[in-house]
Structure 1
Amino acid sequence: MTGNVRRAAAYALVGSLALVVPLLAGRGLGPTTTAGVAALPFLLIGLGALYVVDEGPLFDLLARPGDYEAGRLFGLAAFAFACAGLALLVTLEQFGLPPAAFVASVAVLVVGNVVAEAVRFRATEPVVVTAVFAVGGLLAGIGGFLAVGTILDGRAALPVAAFLAATGALGAALLRTALFKRDDPLVLVSVALLLWGFIELGVAPSGVRVGVGIGVSVLLGYVAFALGTASLTGMLTGVLLALLAIVLGGYGWFALLITFFGLGGLASKFRYEEKRERGIAEENEGARGGGNVLANAAVALVAVVLFAASARVGVPPGLFRYAFAGSVAAAMADTFSSEIGGLFDDPRLITTLQRVEPGTDGAITWQGQVAGVLGAAVIAGIAAVFFDLTPVPTAVIVVGGFAGTIADSLLGATLEGSLLGNESVNLLATLAGAVTSAGLVLGLGLV
C-alpha cells in the first residue's frame, strides 16, 4: 500500500465520524448540545493536526507534500474543520442541512480518493483515475444515503439515493479536475450544498429513469472523450448535465442536449486545419473544456432544475421547457454560425457592416447566419418531435436560437475583450435564446 493510499484511508477513517450526526438524532440532547457533540470530534482532530502532531510516523502518514514545509497538517485540519462546519449546519435548527447530504458528501469524497489513489499506483492516466474516483464515490454515496435512511427511520429509496449519489460523485470529480488536491475541503462543502439543493427539490425519479440516466450519460462521456470533442473537464461537465437532463427533465430534454454536444463538437472539428490557418480554430484541437460546455449549457441546466421545481415556484412547467429548448437552439446556432461561417471570406462586423479580418469578435457572414438558422431549426425539429409541438411553437424556438446568435455577435462586437470573455458572451447568448423563446410563448399564450 502506497503512502498516498494510506493517507487517503486515514482521511476516510476521520470521515466515518460523520455517521455520528444521524446517530444523535432523537437523543433528546437539545440542539446546542447535539451540535456540540456532533462537531466536537472533528474540531479536536483539526486542532490536533495544527498544534499537536508535527512530526513522527503519524505526521508522515497524514501529511500532504505541502505540510512538510510548514510542519503542520494543514490538509487534515482543513478537512476536519470543513466536516465540523457541515455537522453544525446539520444539527443547528436554523440551517437544517439534511444529515444524508453531509454523510453522502463525505463518503463520496473520502472513498473516491481511496480508490483513485489505489488505481493511480498502476494507471496514471487522468481519465482512468477520475473515472475510478467517480465510480467509487457513486457506490459510497449510495451507501451513505442508505445508511442514514436506515439510522433515521429504516427506509431508503434506492433510485433517489442512486441519483443523488451520482450527482454528488460527478460534481466532486468535476471539481477535483478543476482544483488542486489541497482543495478537497472546498469540494466537500460544495458537494454537500449541491446535494442539499436537490434533496430540497423533492425529486422522486423511477429506478429505470435513474439507471438509464447514469448509463447513457457515462456512455456519452466516454464517446466525447474518445473522439476528442471534449477535454476531461468538458466531458465531466457534459456527463453531469446529461444526467440531470434525463432524470429531472426527460428523454426529450436529453435528446436536445446530446444533439448540441454531438453536432457542435463535430462542427468544431470540421475543416479544423483550415480554421487553424485562419486563426479561428478552437483551442485543444477543438476539444471543448468544462468552461465552454458549462457556458453553453448553464442556462439549460437552470431551466431543467426550475422545471423540476415548477410546482414550488408556481410557474407553468411548459415555460421552462421552451426556455431550455431556446437556450440549446441558441448554443447550436452560435456554434454553427461561427464554426461554418468562419470558413468563408469577407466577414463583416455586425454593428457597422464593415469588412473585417476572419476571427474578429462580432464578425458575421451571410453563410454563417444561414448555418445558424439551420442549427436552431435542427434543435427545434427535435423538440417538436419529443415535446409534441405544433408549427408555431416550433418556429418560436428557431427564433429564440437565432436571437441568441445575434446577441452573441452584438456582444462580441461591443463588450467582448473589454468587459466580457468568450465564455461570458456564450452564456449571455444562450440566456437571450431562452428569454426570447419563453417570452414569445408566454406572449402568444402557448403555455
Structure 2
Amino acid sequence: MTAPVRQAGVFAALCTLSLAVPLAGPRVGAAVAGVVLLGAYVITDGPLFDLLAYPGDYEDSRLYGLITFVLAAVALGLMATAASMPVAVFVGTILLVGYGNLGEQLVRLRTDGPVVRVVGFCLTAAVAAVAGQAITRSLAGDAAVSALPIMVFLAASGAFLAALLRDMLLRSDDPIVVLSVGLLLWLLAELQPTIGPTELLIALAVTVALGYTSYALETASIAGMLTGVLLVLLTTVLGGYGWFAVLVSFFAIGGLSTKFRYEEKTELGVAEDNNGARGSGNVLGNAAVALVAVLGYAASDAGLLPHEPELFLFAFTGSIATAMSDTLSSEIGSVFDRPRLITTLKPVEPGTDGGVTWQGELAGIVGAAIVAVIATGLFPEVSGGGATIIVAAGIAGMTVDSLLGATLEGSILGNQGVNFLATLSGALVSVLLVVTFVLG
C-alpha cells in the first residue's frame, strides 16, 4: 500500500467519525471534532505527521490541511444543528469527500488515466454519500428506502461537483470542496425534487454518456465535461426532459461548430485552444444563467419563490438562445474575411473582439431559431409568440456580446465574463418581452 493510499484511508476513517452526530448527538460530535483538532495541533513530526501531512504542512510543521478540513466539517455541522441543513446532508457530504479521495487513490494504483481517476472518485464518493444519508435517516426513524432516488440524486450531484472542484483546485483545498458540496446539497434538498428510480437512472445514464462523448470527441476537457455533466443532471431532474433537450442542443451543436473548418481557424489564429475542447470556465460562462433559471424554476414550483415558474422557463430559453447564437456566430463567422467592428463598422482582422460578419450574424439568427423551435415543440407555454420572443432574446444577447467584446473585453472583462453578461441580457430580454406582451 502506497503512502497516498494510506493517507487517504486515514482521512476516510476520520470522515467516518461524522456519524457521531446522528449516533450520539451534536455534543458528542463536537467533542470528537475537538479531539481531532487537538491531535492535529500537537502532532508536529514523526510517522503520524508524515502520514497526515500535505506537502505544504512541512514548512511550519503543522497539519494545516487536516485542521482546515476539520474546521470546514465543523462549519457544516453547525449548519446541521443550528440551521435547517439536514443532518443526512452533512454526513453524506463528509463521507463523499473522504471516501471519494480514497477511491481515486486506489484507482491510481492501477492507472493514471484522468477519466478513470474521475470515475473512481465519483463512484466511490456517490456510494459513500448514499450510505451516509441512509444510515442517518435510519437512525432518525425515516424511511431510507423510499427516499433512495433523492439520496442518489444528491450523492451524484455532490460527487460531480467535488470531482470538478478537485480538478480545478489542489488536494489541500478539500475544505473548499466540503463547504461547496455541502451548500449545494443543502439547496437541492430544500427544493425537494420528486423523481422516481427509473427517471433517475435514465437521467444519470444519459448524462454520463453525453459527458463522456463530449470528452471523447474532444469538444470538452475533463473540467468542461464534469461541468456539463453536473449542469445537465441538475437541469434534467429539476426542470425535466424538455429543459434537458434545450440545454443539450446547445452543447451538441455548439461543440460541433467548434470543429467547423478548425484547421482554417487555427491558421487564422481564432481557433479554440486545446483542439477546441471547452473548459469549465467556457461552459459556465455560457450556461451559468441557465442553471440559475433552472434553480429558480424549481424553487418557484416548490413555493419557495413567489414568481411564476414560466418566467424562469423563458429566462432559461433566452439565455440558451443567446449562447447558441453567440457560439455559432463566432465559430462560423470567424472563417470569413473582412469582419467589421460592430461599433464602427470598420474592417478589422479576423479574431478581433467585437468583429462581426454577415455570415456569422446569419448563423447566430439560425442558432436562436433552433432553440425557439425546440422550445415550441416541447413546452406548451411557448406559443408562436413565445418562439418569436426567444429568437429576439437570442439576437439581443448576441449583439450585447459583440458590443462588450468591442468595448470592454480585454481591458475590464474576460471572455467568460462577456459570455455571462450576454446570456444574462438574453434571459432578461426574454423575461421582459414575456411580461410586456404575453402576461401584460
Q: Which interval holds the TM-score relative to the shorter structure?
A: over 0.9
Count of aligned residue pairs for this structure pair: 435
Runs of 5+ unmatched residues, structure 1: 26-33
Aligned to 1:393: 386
Equivalent pair of 1:248/1:304 in contact (CA under 8 Å)? yes
Structure 2 residue matching 1:353: 3-state secondary structure? coil
CA offsets 1:370-393 (integer angstroms, 9 cap, x no match): 000001111111111111333211
Aligned to 1:271: 261
Alignment match of 2:181 (pick from 172, 184, 191) = 191
Structure 2 residue matching 1:237: 3-state secondary structure? helix
Runs of 5+ unmatched residues, structure 2: none
Aligned to 1:343: 335
**TM-score w.r.t. length of structure 2:** 0.96
Distance 1:252 1:154 in 2: 33
CA offsets 1:380-427 (integer angstroms, 9 cap, x no match): 111111113332111111111111100100111111111111100000
CA offsets 1:65-114 (integer angstroms, 9 cap, x no match): 3333432222222212222222222222xx23221111011111111111
Code of the residue aligned with 1:367 in structure 2: it is Q
Q: How do 1:60-209 and structure 2 match up within 5 A?
A: 60-92=50-82, 95-156=83-144, 157-209=147-199
Distance 2:434 2:70 in 1: 50
Structure 2 residue matching 1:70: 3-state secondary structure? coil
Off by >3 Å, runs of 4+ in structure 1: none
1:5 aligns with 2:2: no
Equivalent pair of 1:299/1:324 in contact (CA under 8 Å)? yes
Aligned to 1:45: 36
How far 1:44 sits from its partner (Å)?
A: 2.1
Alignment match of 2:312 (pick from 308, 315, 320) = 320
Distance 1:351 1:67 in 2: 53
Structure 1 residue matching 2:200: 3-state secondary structure? helix
Distance 1:20 1:101 in 2: 14
- The percent identity for this pair of structures is 52
Aligned to 2:14: 14
Alignment match of 1:301 (pick from 291, 303, 319) = 291
Code of the residue aligned with 2:288 in structure 1: it is A
Aligned to 1:366: 358
Distance 1:155 1:38 in 2: 24
1:416 aligns with 2:409: yes
Distance 2:86 2:102 in 1: 25
Equivalent pair of 1:38/1:91 in contact (CA under 8 Å)? no
Aligned to 1:441: 434
Equivalent pair of 1:333/1:376 in contact (CA under 8 Å)? yes
Distance 2:330 2:439 in 1: 32
1:59 aligns with 2:52: no
Structure 2 residue matching 1:85: 3-state secondary structure? helix
How far 1:445 sits from its partner (Å)?
A: 2.1
Pairwise CA RMSD of aligned residues? 1.4
Distance 1:392 1:18 in 2: 54
Distance 1:305 1:312 in 2: 11
Distance 2:196 2:296 in 1: 19
Distance 2:123 2:78 in 1: 29
Distance 1:202 1:244 in 2: 13
Distance 1:42 1:82 in 2: 11
How far 1:204 sits from its partner (Å)?
A: 2.3
How far 1:328 sits from its partner (Å)?
A: 0.5
CA offsets 1:21-69 (integer angstroms, 9 cap, x no match): 12245xxxxxxxx4x4322211221221122x22223223222233334
How far 1:361 sits from its partner (Å)?
A: 0.8
How far 1:446 sits from its partner (Å)?
A: 4.8
